[in-house]
Amino acid sequence: MGVGEGGDEGLRRRGCSCTKDDFLPEESFQSWGNYVRALKETPTRLINRVTTRSLDSTELVEMKARSEHEMKKTLTWWDLMWFGIGAVIGAGIFVLTGLEAKTDAGPAVVLSYVVSGISAMLSVFCYTEFAVEIPVAGGSFAYLRVELGDFVAFIAAGNILLEYVIGGAAVARSWTSYFATLCNHKPDDFRINAVGALSENYGHLDPIAVVVMAGICILAVLSTKGSSRLNYVASIVHILVILFIIIAGLTKANFDNYRDFAPFGPRGVFKASAVLFFAYVGFDAVSTMAEETKNPGKDIPIGLVGSMVITTVAYCLLAITLCLMVPYKLIDEDAPFSVAFETVGMGWAKYLVAAGALKGMTSVLLVSAVGQARYLTHIARTHMMPPWLAQVNAKTGTPVNATIVMITATAIIALFTKLDILSNLLSISTLFIFMLVAVALLVRRYYAAGVTTPANRNKLIFFLVVILGSSIGTSAYWGTSDGWYGYAITVPLWFLGTLGIRIFVPQAKFPNLWGVPLVPWLPSASIAINIFLLGSIDKDSFIRFGIWTLIILGYYFFFGLHASYDVAKEFEKEKALRNDNQLKNAEEGGAVAEPNN
């Protein structure tokens, strides 16, 4: 079972202790001599981890056994749908809509939401199949471990954690902005100006965001079902406020505001799409709740797809309403909807809008806190992160340690960092992860050890390289040229790569309960659009993304690699021993039974 029964017993004895063995219990860290030997074996261990793929059964049984207690199965499709709505509708629509309409897209920001929504929906389908087939708390980390191996899964894991920390921090800072509007103040009136001691991008300290995150932490550790109930009550109120914004706002519509529909051209629309993808981030948190879902085969598809359809329609209607109420050049960047109502003479409505936005952002923070803790819990089950973080509290059935650690990190980032920096960096990590999940789905359908022949495996690799290469080429050409000749090469190459998989590579595995339609076209389109949107993000964000990737690689080579390698080897030994014992018992039972025949 997992690392072994003895390891689990040790967890029970220690309870909530914080000893060295809670963080580094593996053989490589028992002495300096062991650690030096482990470092010398880094190349061999890395090859092992790069080429090792997990099994569905491993994620579903052995990994779950490492959390000391099981999470409680209390959620239905109704809970998941409202979790999805609560996770997504928040700071993105209420803050970034105004920012992107004013600076990048104009009224055509509605098209930006359509593009981002299509990309998000394609990713939802990919996530849904995995969540139904592998219903564990690890979400995309578990899916990538099964299909692309430990190393790729860890790189994704680092970005998953970054995604959640940055997303939560961005929403927490936006919470302050709307709270300030509710109190008839500017957001900076509630922030501490430390510019001088710190740079402009990090010098506006936000203590309210920290207090909000502390409250969210308390709610998230108490109960998943309780969080769900609070979330869908808040989300229903939130939907009512959104309906009010649309109906009341359209009564003040001025169609002259749409005369200059796309002032920044197509490039502005797609640039805004890349940033506004932030507004759809959060649905992947729903997939992490699969382990707590009563009937994953039915509940997850309805919950995920239903929430995304509702969200996309709401976003498009809100974007249209905002730009019809106020000329895009006059939109307020901090609290666009509240100020828009004040501009059209409905000052009283700004308080209702601000209160609704606060409810929505509170839901986003709560669902994000629940989801990010479950990601970290499953990562810690593999020992790529300290196993102390994998513990599930016996009383609450929630991962308390992981929740507190992630929310603390989120609060620190929220205290210092401005929203525009957070939103761009978040979009990179999210698009990168969604692209990997789409690749993993193609691998899952078209490659199975012992079933796929070496020739078909090589064909799959070749066509995947064509799809990825052509998608990168399209994105690079978009980012560097205003012509169209490059697309005449890259787009047909993408089509031929996808067609090649469809015709020349037989499917090796079919979903048992629910599957993505139009395979390989739909996941291949997801790869292409996610990579394309990456080409619209600014250079500085890629530099920050590169620095973060180097940091997580450093951690992996010095700690995570050796811990996960030791645990995998220990698991292999214990599995072989169990098989030997079962064989021995079967033989002994047969010998006893023979005289009775």
SS (H, E, C) 91-129: HHHHHHHHHHHHHHHHHHHHHHHHHHHHHHHHHHHHHHH
Vertex 129 angle, CA 123 and 134, to 5°? 120
Task: Give SS3 for 197.
Answer: coil
Are the beta carbons of 64 and 70 closer than 8 angstroms?
yes
Is 56 among the domain residues? no
Q: CA-CA distances (angstroms) from residue 564 to 24, 25, 45, 212, 551? A: 11, 11, 10, 35, 18
At residue 334, φ and ψ (nearest 5 deg) are: -85, -45
Task: Give SS3 for 448.
Answer: coil
Task: Tell me the Cα Rg of the chain.
Answer: 25
Are the beta carbons of 201 and 416 closer than 8 angstroms?
no
Is 512 among the domain residues? no
**pTM for the model:** 0.77
**Separation CA 96–CA 335 (nearest Å):** 9
100 closest CA partner among 118, 87, 90, 113: 113
**Separation CA 367–CA 224 (nearest Å):** 10
* CATH of residue 210: 1.20.1740.10
Please, which residues bridge with residue 192 across strands?
205
Is 15 among the domain residues? no
Residue in the structure block whose two tokens are 């997801």: 526
Q: Which amino acid is at 37?
A: R
Range of the domain at 260: 71-421
Are the beta carbons of 389 and 66 closer than 8 angstroms?
no
286-319 b/e (C-beta count within 10 Å ≥ 16 → b): bbbbbbbbeebeebbbbbbbbbbebbbebbbbbb
Are the beta carbons of 128 and 301 closer than 8 angstroms?
yes
At residue 204, φ and ψ (nearest 5 deg) are: -105, 90
Is 190 among the domain residues? yes
DSSP letter at 322 equals: H
Is 546 among the domain residues? no
Please report the sign of the dihedral spanned by the C-alpha atoms of residue 95, residue 97, residue 98, residue 100: positive
Q: Where are the alpha helices (DSSP H) in 140-290?
A: 140-147, 150-182, 207-222, 224-250, 265-276, 283-287
**Separation CA 114–CA 418 (nearest Å):** 26
**Separation CA 392–CA 354 (nearest Å):** 36
Q: CA-CA distances (angstroms) from residue 86 to 229, 237, 363? A: 11, 11, 5
Is 135 among the domain residues? yes
DSSP letter at 61 equals: I
User: Other C-beta atoms within 10 Å of 256: how many?
Assistant: 9
Residue in the structure block whose two tokens are 């995309």: 140
Please report the sign of the dihedral spanned by the C-alpha atoms of residue 528, residue 289, residue 428, residue 333: positive
* pLDDT at residue 12 in the model: 41
* pLDDT at residue 593 in the model: 42
If one counts the domains in the chain, the total is 1
Are the beta carbons of 209 and 225 closer than 8 angstroms?
no
The low-confidence residues of the chain, meaning pLDDT below 70, are 1-22, 57-72, 87, 90-92, 95, 137-138, 223-232, 278, 282, 285, 419-420, 422-426, 575-576, 578-597
* pLDDT at residue 461 in the model: 95
Report cis status (omega within 30 of 0) of the bond before 595.
no
Are the beta carbons of 176 and 209 closer than 8 angstroms?
yes
